[in-house]
Structure 1
Amino acid sequence: MSAIAPLEQEPAVEVARPATPRRRGGRRRKTLGDWAVLGVAVLIGLLIAVPFFMILVNSFKSPTDYANTGPLSLPSELYFDGLVAFWERVDFPEKLWNSFYISGIVAIGAVLISMLNAFALGIGRVKGRTWIVVIILLANMLPQEVLLYPLYFMFKQVGLYDNQWAVIIIFVVIQSAFGTYLLASVYGTFPKEILEAASLDGANRWTILWRVVFPITRPTLSVLIIFFFIWTWNEFLIPLTFLVSNANQTVPVAVAVLQGDRLMDVTTTSASALLGLIPTLIFFLIFQRTLTRGITAGAVK
């Protein structure tokens, strides 16, 4: 019997792929498109930085120096009278404490209410969940001007007009509406296996919320706290309407009221804007890493 010769296999043909240019160390070499995106980002960053540069430069100019050299030139000598004048006229430490007090309570309270509402809507699956979320979204889209008169009348009746708690209650409701809408969609995709495992271990709803859901979604809650704090700090219309006493006013209201009342010069106005900007900038720099981790946490499972 003649042996059957094995079939010869043709050598596999490898398709050549264009090599991606890389630098030493394994880094990919930047292409023309990468440099274009970088150039656009730098240009946008410079446009954003121009107003801050003007505020910083003009805060340390004298009115005479500003009139002679204009807003874009560097000061010939450091002039601190504008900062001192604004600090003393408005009692800035008091206004700073009012802003921190209102913004801090609003941020914590709004996140807490948002988490409880979202747990009921996203995990508890209450009846009419979709309609409730839609109503919350529509309420969040209402402009503040529409709310001024009914809120003014209501807080006048209950004796909370010209009281910081009126502003706190209003902003807790407004911010928690947005937080509920956001967290309800997040909790709606929460892994059911984890919830079922916790239930099998004997955990009730309250335990599941604080021992399971809260630790996992802590980065998202941290981002909401930071945003709620900054948003409340920068609010102007509602604090201007409900905080008429000088002792209750926040930093943005104090800056605006003093500009209209005393007709400050440009350098003192720049100094007031700089003093109002520094606390939020420090707050953002302190919690920058927390903000970055919270934003990127949802992209990695």
Structure 2
Amino acid sequence: MRPATALALCAALASTALLTGCGTETAGAPASSGATCASLAPLADPAGRTWDNVRVVSGKCGPSGAPSTGFEVTNTDQEPLTFTITFTLVNGFGEAMDSTTRTVEAVKPGQTVRRPLDAEEGPGSARAYRARITKVRAVPADGPSGACPPSGVRITNDRGDAAMGLRVVGIHLANCGTTDYRLNGYPALRLLDEDRDPVTGVEILHGTTAISTGIGGDAEPRPLTLRPGESAYASLAWRNTTTDGDPVNAPYAEVTAKPGAEPVTVTPELDLGTTGRLGVSPWTKTPADAGVPQG
């Protein structure tokens, strides 16, 4: 794993500014007219410019046609993917000046999508910096942005908490459909590495007491009925202690809410060290006055 702290900058493209709204774009549907990169070419210095089918490019990337920095995403998979990319902007002295996260939704198989990448000052403002790709995450796309998946539920993860080697991340399930959704027990997990290949050798425990007491993840499972608009959560807990052996990193996890449900890929960024254990709490209904954090 190559961790990075992503300062989320807003990125809805407007006619006069590039980063002034929400940081999500949908493939094939530019956020504003002219919001593409023309005369693209890879930058001269290749270090940090490419990562998992994402590359930094240069050209006339702003709506005004101003020279700027852009990026290109290519989906080489067999299904639509949503990409989340973290960039670091570096000045001429090699100092990291800013960090920004951009999301490109529902890139079709074989499709290449190009987008501008600018700082808050607008078109051309990233020109003074060298953009480096810090992290790339790609998960199967559920469908159009904002639409409820065919399953009727949306599964996400939050950013979690960390203290003295202990990590806790929440998995959130929201009933965005029109009928009740029933749960009973624990979510099933399949851990995946950066290439989305299965990670083996990790014991997944029911409950979190074996990881740490006081997390609150050891209640007995109980049947839940989520009405439309209601949600539930489960906690993942682990320690990232490293001793002998190779540390295990699993940035992705396939979550199966209940037997027979379709698995959903999320990005809990599990830096498991050499502990080989991950605790999982049962599904618990989210209190009515609590929001559902988004990953």
State the TM-score, normalized to the length of structure 1: 0.18
Q: Which has the higher strand share?
A: 2
Computing the radius of gyration over CA atoms, which structure comes out larger, 1 or 2? 1
Q: Which has the higher helix share?
A: 1
